[in-house]
Amino acid sequence: MSHPPFSPAQARAARERIGLPPEHVVAAMAQLGVHRSTETLRCWEAGVVTPSEEELFALADALWCPVPVLMDLTPRSLREHRLARQFTAERLARRVGMDLAAYARAENDHRWNGTDRQTLVLADALGLEPEELLRLIGRAGELDGLLREAVEGRWKQYTAQLARLVGARDRAVAQALRTLHQEYARFNERYMGHLVARSDDTRLKEIATERAAWLQGLSDRFLHLLGDDSGR
């Protein structure tokens, strides 16, 4: 497996912030079971070599520094999220209940094929919010489609499927869908009311534009409503 992302400048700055000389850092790493020389640490900070995952985790703990800071990035990929939580691939695969080879393929191919249960465990292990989980596993488009069908039709029948998709409780999803369905219905009522009243085309176009914008942000609105639900 390739070495993880690593910022020599961030590592050096983290060490200087807590005022530890290289000797103390490698001693702290040794207590964590990772024995390296001060010269190795200096090479990391100089950008000559890059630490392995095991070394990165030990260095982060020795420096009391979050792994994403040492990687100098906001986690976006599955591997980056795993590293940020200091999971080895083997440990996360075991936690999720997936064969290591299958998990490794998911990371390398950027394609998640886990079951619903494995997906929920993954989200819990990595501390993923629903929108980040959906983006990570490539199912954001599926959410958009299901929500559109739900607000335009009988929303209750979509509750269980959407709950599984975003990893939320049925009750929370039902409340969010009810609110969205009501909001969508109000757009239609306003449009029909102006149509019956023979309002000018300008007003009808304004309402239609507002509804289109609301539909465009439907997923964000749904996830916001879920975030507001204290029972999640």
209 falls within a domain:
yes
146 and 185 assigned to the same domain: yes
214 and 178 assigned to the same domain: yes
- Residue where the block lists tokens 């109000």: 186
86 and 155 assigned to the same domain: no
Distance CA 95, CA 75 (A): 20
49 and 122 assigned to the same domain: no
83 by Cβ neighbours in 10 Å (0-12 / 13-18 / 19+) ranks as buried
53 falls within a domain:
yes
Cβ–Cβ under 8 Å, residues 75 and 85: no
Q: How many domains are contained in the chain?
A: 3
1 falls within a domain:
no
104 falls within a domain:
yes
How confident is the model over 71-96, as pLDDT tens digits? 999 998 899 999 999 999 999 999 99
192 falls within a domain:
yes
How confident is the model over 20-31, as pLDDT tens digits? 999 999 999 999
Q: Confirm whether pTM is higher than 0.75.
A: no
How confident is the model over 163-184, as pLDDT tens digits? 888 878 899 999 999 999 999 8
99 by Cβ neighbours in 10 Å (0-12 / 13-18 / 19+) ranks as exposed
61 and 109 assigned to the same domain: no
144 and 205 assigned to the same domain: yes
